[in-house]
Amino acid sequence: MEAASRPGASSATRAWQDITIVDDLLPPDEHAQIHRFLAAGQWSHGWRSHNGAQTQPFWNRHFAGATDPAQLDVGPGASDELARAAPLVHACWRRLSQTYLTQHALQSCYANGLPYGADGALHADLLAMGACTAVYYPHERWDPDWGGETVLFNKDRTDILCAVYPKPNRLLIFPGFVYHVARGVSRACPTMRITLMFKTQWRP
């Protein structure tokens, strides 16, 4: 997953240990449209990072594909389902599938919302070879004092690989086996932290 070999890779794209960050992913108008769409939508409460007893529920919007991370292959229908459910989000997926996630099949797409007081839990999405997670940060403004970083851990969960700031219009891509957690926002944060996820499977 080397950024340099990807179409459209530039100085705004950085990769290390199969972790890729792309800044300024979308044109400003598309970025603003997706943020408005996600922020104004109907959210459901009760989604969890995993099924452990200590995990906290948070807000979620499911758009397409599998709701069970263990479901490895949902066929070609997830992309079509996304096109029907959320055309704006599907346009974003098409951009990814033609640039940074070529030869990847969409498995699921959803958004998570963490208001102040809600925290994610450390987990890995999927251990299967070729499974991948892409996280898009749709906010139009974010302050460093608001927190909300995505923190990636080593395989033993004993140390941090990196912490990714939720910079507006940023995309984070990493293998499904990487342990990660969405850190909660600070008391100073006036909004719910929203992220848009694309879970994929590499199809060589």
The per-residue pLDDT for range 46-88, each reduced to its tens digit, is 565 555 556 677 789 999 997 765 555 555 689 999 999 999 9
If you average pLDDT over residues 189-204, what whole number do you get? 94
Which CATH architecture group holds 12-202? Sandwich (2.60)
**Annotated domain spans of the chain:** 12-202
How confident is the prediction for the chain on average, in pLDDT?
A: 86
Question: Residue 14 — very low, low, confident or very high, per pLDDT cuts 50/70/90?
Answer: very low
Distance CA 202, CA 175 (A): 10
pLDDT at 17: 45
pTM of the model: 0.87
Please give the structure tokens belonging to residue 44. 């459901």
Q: Which two tokens stand for residue 19?
A: 């972790």
Residue closest to 100 by CA, chosen among 36, 34, 18: 18
192 contacts: CB under 8 Å, gap ≥ 6:
39, 59, 113, 114, 115, 185
Residue 175 has pLDDT above 90, yes or no: yes
Where does the pLDDT of residue 3 fall: very low under 50, low under 70, confident under 90, or very high at 90 and above? Answer: very low
Q: SS3 string of the chain?
A: CCHHHCCCCCCCEEEECCEEEECCCCCHHHHHHHHHHHHCCCCEEEECCCCCCCCCCEEEEEEEECCCCCCCCCCCHHHHHHHHHCHHHHHHHHHHHCCCCCCEEEEEEEEEEECCCCCCCCECCCCCCCEEEEEEECCCCCCHHHECCEEEECCCCCCEEEEECCCCCEEEEEECCCEEEECCECCCCCCCEEEEEEEEEECC
Residue 128: predicted pLDDT: 84
Q: Report whether pLDDT(159) > 80.
A: yes
> For residue 74, what pLDDT is reported?
56
Checking if the pLDDT of 15 tops 60, the result is: no
- 19-22/44-47 β-pairing: unpaired
pLDDT of 44? 83
How many CB atoms are located within 10 Å of the residue 107 CB? 27
The pLDDT value recorded for residue 12 is 42
